[in-house]
Amino acid sequence: MNTLIAMTTGLVPAVAEEIEVVAAAAPANILEMVSEMAYSIDTVWVLLASMLVFFMQMGFSLVEAGFARTKNTANILMKNLVDFSMGSILFWFIGFGIMFGPSLLGGLIGKPDLFGTAGWEGPIPPVAFLVFQTMFCATASTIVSGAVAERTKFHAYLGYAVLVSAIIYPISGHWTWGGGWLAELGFHDFAGSTVVHSVGGWIALVGAAMVGPRLGKYRNGKVHAIPGHNLTFATIGVFALWFGWFGFNPGSQLGAAGAANALAISNVFMTTNIAAAAGGVTALITAWIRYGKPSLSLMLNGLLAGLVGITAGCDLVSPVGAALIGVISGVVMVFAVSFIDSKLRVDDPVGAITVHGVCGTLGTLLTGLFALEGGLFYGGGAAMLGIQAIGAFTTMAWALGAGFLAFKLIDIVIGLRVDKRVEEEGLDIYEHGEASYNS
């Protein structure tokens, strides 16, 4: 017994010393573990958001196919597949570096980093950020598909997809998200009303104007509607886009760990959903009053108009502000579709120019009015609105100019439009040798 007591007594100081060492190290270890856990949570959240944004490609495919005729459905679906597939490769190859590399030429362009991540640093791994941004690049590219549908050569469209994914979108994207000159100015576009949607929308305007209207669209000085073949597809597609937008906007927070991130993404979810709902309901009412019927197609585009409009300022506005942005976007969408169709005589089968171009620019400007901090309606003066206008309109000018040069080059080298017989009988058989519907 005495021997055991002696051994125990001798061990006590050693055990106590070991406990002190562990206790001293514990806070550092705990902090490291918490930091690693937050890093993991943020990464998983952004990758999950990437999946939601990827799901939007299905939405675009269904909306565009639904608003087109049966004879061109396979062509529509093929273009959406190509947009994402080629865009993924090209954005990884050169686009990401141009968009997020160190600024060159006073913030006009990023330094290319072929097949790299351009030294990007942030709260998540660079590769996770590359994946997330790839989804946005594909979205900008695919917006044009519907506007030039049913009369554009497939290989001409491939040329466009290459130029947008590799050059046009990354350059203007660098200005805002890559630390370029607009970012330094204080321009705010949280998730891409201008960076993604208006770029795609204004390029769509140029492309649709240059390729010309579909046969039979404008006859004897009158506008003739060419109905799509499946509003069921279009409706399911809009629901898919609405669902995917919950990755598009909240995912742009680039984090979910911690109380601040949790609150931020919750607010963005709320503003995104409210703007969409308000845009859809307002478009429904506006169309009902103007045309005497509640139009499903216009309500669908009203929902999308609200989503596009809120994307720039979804992190800065209140739910009430989001609802007002949705209302304004929904009303403007109904009148802008008619103006572009009947006054400008630009044939856009799906309304992409209005939804993405007009409402993307509009939503960016409205952020300068409704932002809780800095917005004109909240005592911030006109400074933020002015900066928003500079960013929105210079990006519009870039998209229109670069889009014109791209389509002009393609028209000279390849030609944009299919032959009359191909357009009459359908692009599916002549361009792809197969059809979506076979009896």
Which pLDDT score is estimated for 8? Answer: 42
Whether 90 and 130 have beta carbons less than 8 Å apart is answered as no
The position carrying tokens 């299919």 is 418
What is the average per-residue pLDDT within 245-273?
97
Over the stretch 32-60, which tens digit does the pLDDT of each residue have?
Answer: 888 889 999 999 999 999 999 999 999 99
Which pLDDT score is estimated for 90? Answer: 97
Which pLDDT score is estimated for 283? Answer: 98
53 CA to centre of own chain: 8
Which pLDDT score is estimated for 183? Answer: 97
Please, which residues have CB within 8 angstroms of residue 204's CB and are 6 or more apart in sequence?
A: 143, 144, 146, 147, 148, 348, 352, 353, 356, 357
Residue 437 backbone dihedrals phi, psi, to 5 degrees: -125, 125
Q: Sorting pLDDT into bands at 50, 70 and 90, what band is 13?
A: low
Which pLDDT score is estimated for 31? Answer: 82
What is the average per-residue pLDDT within 378-389?
97
Which secondary-structure segment (H or E) carries 218? Answer: strand 218-219
Which pLDDT score is estimated for 26? Answer: 55
- Rounded CA-CA distance 57/89 in Å is 16
Query: Is the pLDDT higher at 439 or at 116?
Result: 116
| Residue 129 CA: distances (Å) to CA of 47, 136, 367 | 8, 11, 25
What mean pLDDT value characterizes the chain? Answer: 93
Which range has the worst mean pLDDT, 15-19, 133-137, 192-196, 372-376? Answer: 15-19
Q: Sorting pLDDT into bands at 50, 70 and 90, what band is 2?
A: very low
Which pLDDT score is estimated for 6? Answer: 43
Pick from 365, 417, 366, 414: nearest CA to 391: 365
Percent of the chain clearing pLDDT 90 (strictly above): 90
Secondary structure of the chain: what % helix, strand, coil (to 5)? 75, 0, 25
Whether 363 and 276 have beta carbons less than 8 Å apart is answered as no
- Rounded CA-CA distance 14/20 in Å is 10
Which pLDDT score is estimated for 22? Answer: 47
**pTM, entire model:** 0.91
- Rounded CA-CA distance 179/57 in Å is 28
| Residue 241 CA: distances (Å) to CA of 25, 219, 238, 280, 307 | 49, 34, 5, 13, 9
Please, which residues have CB within 8 angstroms of residue 129's CB and are 6 or more apart in sequence?
A: 46, 117, 120, 122, 254
- Rounded CA-CA distance 305/129 in Å is 27
Q: Which amino acid, residue 298?
A: L
Which pLDDT score is estimated for 144? Answer: 96
End-to-end CA distance of the chain: 96
DSSP assignment of 305-360 equals: HHHHHHTTTTTTS-HHHHHHHHHHHHHHHHHHHHIIIIIS----TT-HIIIIIIHH
What is the average per-residue pLDDT within 243-270?
97
Which range has the worst mean pLDDT, 5-19, 206-220, 351-365? Answer: 5-19
